[in-house]
Chain A
Amino acid sequence: MAVRASGADSYILCELAGATYALRSDDIEQLEMVGLLTPVPNAPSFVDGVTSVRGRVIPAISLRARFGFERVPTDLRSRLIVVRHDGRSVCLIVDSAREFATIPADAIQPPPDGLAEISTRYLRGMAHLGERLVLLLDVAELLRVTSTGPEASDATALLPAFS
């Protein structure tokens, strides 16, 4: 196992509604072009559906919708970022993702209060890359299920009584 240089992680940078966000490379399984999405009934509003990524069927979240921005049609620059967290694999749809960057841990500051509350929930922090401001995303928070929609599955409806 390779020893990581102390205190600096590598990140993939993605663009969304004019801002730059960063996801830790360790959280990312792969990058894909946006393929065909199949809508899923009763899913949360920010879920665009399911898609097939190399033989697996996984949900796709519209990051724009997740952050409360307006949805735009996907184009050739749009990307699916497949992230993995807590045993789950989920796609994030972003406007584009083309750059890698190494961000030292001590360059990361807490998210500023000035940002709208809806975005700070999903942020681990922010950092300056040269002139640019980069917002570091919190994958756990992005994938959190806030409501399961009107109908929970049979199994989940039964389980709590037995914990």
Chain B
Amino acid sequence: MSDSEQFVDQFIDDYFSECDEHLATVRRVLLALEDDPSGAATQGGMLELQRALHTIKGLSGMVGLAAAEQVAHTMEDGVRAIGKHPTVVRPALLELLFAGENLLEQAIASRRRHGAPPPTDAYVARMRGAIGHGAGFVGAPVQHVPGMGLALSSDASVVSVEAGARQRFDFTPSAAASARGTGVETVRRWLLSLGEIVEATPRVRAEGGVTFEFVVAMRRGAQPIEEWRADGLEWADFEVMPREAPADMPDAARAATPAANLVRVDLARLDDVMRMVGEMVLTRSRLDAVIERMASRHLGEQEDLEEANEALERQLRNLREGVMRIRLVPIGEVFERMRFAVREMARESGAVIRLDFEGGATEIDKVVVDRMLEPLMHLVRNSVSHGIESRTQRLAAGKPAEGRVSLRARAAGDRIMLEIEDDGAGLDAARVASRARELGLMPRNGRLDDETMLDLVCTPGFSTRDQADMGSGRGVGMSVVRSAVRALGGELFLQSRAGLGACFTIELPLTLMIADAIIVQVGEQVMAIPQLSLREIVPMEELVLTRMENNEMVSYRGGVLPLVRLASLFGFPTTVAANRGHVLVVGSDSQMAGLVVDRLQGLREIVMHPISDPLVTVTGVSGATELADGRVSLILDAAALVRRTTREAHGSTR
């Protein structure tokens, strides 16, 4: 591998994430331009658009992705052409810009897949035709940051930089520096020790190669270290940029631009911090255990220690919440992407669709947001291509010609609800039934309620369309949607009303990491179950046991509760008699189960670790946690156990 390839390799993930960010800006501004054809309110947006495209161009040049570089460049020309006539945004140009964004996404995706980039010549030609002149493409030009002011202190030997003043640093990676372990990441860390990095822009140099320009908002008195120069970092001793004066920027644009006091953090680093907090939680629970032991021996000064321990617990809880808050991002970004997808689909099919958002400011864990993008996209596409009827059908049914898809997000306790609702025809029950019969999946009682219907359409291979169409047939079926939701500890629900529309609800945990859990004993093994998934705990003695074939059940609140003996399910020898132990009642009103455990050990705060290795994935276990004695305990997955039980109890034909 050559040096430059190796360098690109290190940089490529940054490239993808930066491009994602800038493409989001491009999409947002394009949609705003479309909504406001006069363009009067979007001057700031145009600047933003140009800046985003320019950055994508520069970055793409660096990683040698000529297709993306060329498209971004062409789009820049297009944006400038629109800018020259700010009163009339030409629809043709705008349409071309939308097409360009699409092409850019494809080009970048091709790099991600290591595939061939899409052809771009036709696009460039079309844009040139639309602009009416043939602006030449000569590669990304070298850029200079103009006009940097000086701020000298009175003492010439020490440059004291005003707090918040900006200084520019140029870093040119070299093989030699890289061999010493100095790369962009190293430099980032150095600069972070001086202040806040407010800008980081890679520039392609005329002679080839790359220079990163950093602008750092310096902390008062912070000084760069001379030795850094040997590794390719350059800065001017007295070069200080004036504080940014964004007064000429419209408010809307400024609000949308990432503000200077935002810091981008790699999610992996947050995971590290979270893991460390988790370890502290664990250490504190050891402390708990020690204090408890001491209490029995009346050693005095006990109270002080307890007080300190309680304070520590409070502080840890705050710290934990603080770290979790950092991971939260508004779901609105994802909604915006849906708008873009719907626009594309509507344009292809000629349908008129209105997309409503509600609760875009609802904040969700970044990981959850990322993993929900595809499933949400699939549900929205389903609504548009299967749910919403054709214009004629709609008018005949007395509905407005314009179809409506609503995306809603809201927090409910420590769960997040995402709803995707349309005012289309609802799920075609007759069709689902006939397909179910074909596959031998029709329930015995022949009833097709929402829950059964959802189960059916989420069965792999169950598609009621004879042919997958462009919109929905993209390889992610409903079954994948549901397993993606469940993989995050969530659940998918459906409400369908024939002729009136369908509503899918995704219920997700707000965060994934720490929970209060009941510690139980199953056979000799200690296991944990999140307290939130428990409805009630009932001692076995208080229940009347009935046996039907191989199933055990008890009457519970006027109904029947199927029991799962966890010890026998997991193959552990049980330590109590069949009529002893405790029943953990779990599940929803419609599907409940009673998990039988040998003993209860109490309530603890646990740090949840996923168990994802294929060697140890078990149905009914969602992860693991470390208890105070250092031993790992498995965490019970109540939802999976309920599904398993109800499936067996109903004697499904599968």
- Enumerate chain A interface residues (CB-CB to B < 8 A): 1-3, 35-44, 47, 49-52, 55-59, 61, 88-90, 143, 145, 148-149, 151-156, 158-162
Asked if residues B475 and A47 are in contact (CB atoms below 8 Å), the reply is no
Residue of A nearest to B274 (CB): A55
Known: A36-B632, A41-B570, A155-B487. A1 touches B179 (CB 8 A): yes
Asked if residues A44 and B615 are in contact (CB atoms below 8 Å), the reply is yes
Asked if residues B479 and A36 are in contact (CB atoms below 8 Å), the reply is no
**Inter-chain contacts of B616 with A (CB < 8 A):** 40, 43, 47, 49-50, 59
Other-chain contact of B619, A51, A55, A154 (Cβ < 8 Å): A154
Bound CA span A88–B614, Å: 9
Chain A proximity of B381: nearest CB distance (Å)? 16
**Inter-chain contacts of B623 with A (CB < 8 A):** 57
B58 at the interface (CB under 8 A from A): no
Bound CA span A162–B615, Å: 23
Residue of B nearest to A36 (CB): B631
**Inter-chain contacts of B276 with A (CB < 8 A):** 55
Asked if residues A38 and B279 are in contact (CB atoms below 8 Å), the reply is no
- The prevalent SS among residues of B at the interface is mixed
**Inter-chain contacts of A41 with B (CB < 8 A):** 569-572, 618, 621
Asked if residues A154 and B640 are in contact (CB atoms below 8 Å), the reply is yes
Chain B proximity of A150: nearest CB distance (Å)? 10
Bound CA span A47–B623, Å: 17
- Can you show 11 pairs from A to B with CB atoms below 8 A apart? A38-B624, A40-B634, A55-B276, A56-B609, A57-B625, A59-B611, A59-B613, A59-B615, A143-B615, A154-B640, A162-B477
Known: A55-B275, A57-B626, A155-B483. A43 touches B179 (CB 8 A): no
List residues 586-645 of chain B with CB under 8 A from any CB of chain A: 609, 611, 613-619, 621, 623-626, 629-634, 640, 643
Known: A41-B570, A153-B618. A55 touches B278 (CB 8 A): yes
Asked if residues B611 and A57 are in contact (CB atoms below 8 Å), the reply is yes
Bound CA span A162–B479, Å: 9
Asked if residues A38 and B619 are in contact (CB atoms below 8 Å), the reply is no
B221 at the interface (CB under 8 A from A): no
B350 at the interface (CB under 8 A from A): no
Known: A155-B486, A155-B487, A161-B461. A3 touches B615 (CB 8 A): no
Bound CA span A104–B630, Å: 41
Residue of A nearest to B279 (CB): A55
B249 at the interface (CB under 8 A from A): no
Known: A57-B609, A58-B613, A90-B613. A151 touches B461 (CB 8 A): no
Known: A39-B525, A155-B486, A162-B480. A148 touches B614 (CB 8 A): yes
B460 at the interface (CB under 8 A from A): yes
List residues 551-572 of chain B with CB under 8 A from any CB of chain A: 569-572
* Interface size counted on chain B using CB atoms at 8 A: 45
List residues 223-280 of chain B with CB under 8 A from any CB of chain A: 275-276, 278-279
Known: A1-B178, A162-B460. A40 touches B618 (CB 8 A): yes
Bound CA span A2–B619, Å: 44
B6 at the interface (CB under 8 A from A): yes
Bound CA span A20–B278, Å: 38
> Known contacts A49-B632, A50-B634, A88-B613; can you find 8 more A-B pairs with CB under 8 A?
A1-B179, A3-B179, A38-B631, A40-B634, A49-B616, A57-B623, A57-B624, A57-B632
Asked if residues A158 and B460 are in contact (CB atoms below 8 Å), the reply is yes
Counting from the closest, the 4 A-B pairs by CB-CB distance are: A161-B460, A41-B570, A57-B624, A57-B609
Chain B proximity of A56: nearest CB distance (Å)? 7
B181 at the interface (CB under 8 A from A): yes
Asked if residues A38 and B613 are in contact (CB atoms below 8 Å), the reply is no
Other-chain contact of A162, B475, B614, B624 (Cβ < 8 Å): B475
B148 at the interface (CB under 8 A from A): no
Residue of B nearest to A40 (CB): B616
Known: A1-B179, A3-B179. A51 touches B632 (CB 8 A): yes
List residues 47-83 of chain B with CB under 8 A from any CB of chain A: none
Chain B proximity of A26: nearest CB distance (Å)? 16
**Inter-chain contacts of B6 with A (CB < 8 A):** 1
Residue of B nearest to A88 (CB): B613
**Inter-chain contacts of A59 with B (CB < 8 A):** 611, 613, 615-616
B476 at the interface (CB under 8 A from A): yes
Residue from B476, B483, B615, B629 with most neighbouring chain A CB atoms (10 Å): B615
Asked if residues B480 and A158 are in contact (CB atoms below 8 Å), the reply is yes
**Inter-chain contacts of A162 with B (CB < 8 A):** 460, 475-477, 479-480
Known: A36-B631, A50-B632, A161-B461. A154 touches B476 (CB 8 A): no
